[in-house]
Amino acid sequence: MPEIVLDETDRRIVNELQGGFPVSARPFRTAARRMRINEVDLIARVKKLLANGVLTRFGPLFQIERAGGQYVLCAMQVPADRFDEIAATLGAMREVAHNYERTHTLNMWFVVAAETQPEIDAVLADIATKTGIEVIAMPKLREYFLDLRFTV
């Protein structure tokens, strides 16, 4: 993988946007003004940071339970030769927030979100039926707020 060089503006964007994104009619304009850059440039730079993998996700984190929903972290032991197939199956499901590979016996991890626990149970059963692989559900027992930030 080629080395990615960030200029001072890219670094400022990554550092400042970790601490909150404005809630307004034009949030990129508000954020750009705060950083003393152009709104169009900010949007282009965020897109570039996503495209080159510096950022893997740009968006809000919700406390889904407060909005009336449920979610669960899940994992599966997926054979290497079926990994892409199963990732595509999960990626096509609206209830699956994301999925990713881990170097572990349980090598595919993902989050399922739905309005109710019975809906989550139905989605997990559907995944097991479609893939023929057991889904390990790991519901949250306790929540911690870390406010973790990475300065670049």
The 10s digit of each residue's pLDDT in 52-71 is 988 877 887 777 777 778 89
Instruction: Please give the share of the chain, as a percent, with pLDDT higher than 90.
Output: 68
Tell me if the domain spanning 64-138 has CATH number 1.10.3720.10: no
Which parts of the chain are beta strand (E)? 70-76, 96-101, 108-114, 136-138
**Banded model confidence at residue 20, pLDDT cuts 50, 70, 90:** confident
Greatest C-alpha distance within the chain: 53
Contact 70, 38 (CB under 8 A): no
- Residues 74-101 have a mean pLDDT of 94
Given this model, what pLDDT does residue 120 score? 96
**Residue 84: predicted pLDDT:** 95
- Look-up of token digits 């809906």: 119
- Tokens 């993902």 belong to which residue? 110
| Structure confidence by residue, pLDDT tens digits, 138-150 | 998 888 777 777 7
Locate the domains of the chain by residue range. Answer: 8-51, 64-138
Q: Report the predicted TM-score, pTM, of the whole model to 2 decimal places.
A: 0.65
For residue 74, pLDDT over 90 is answered with yes
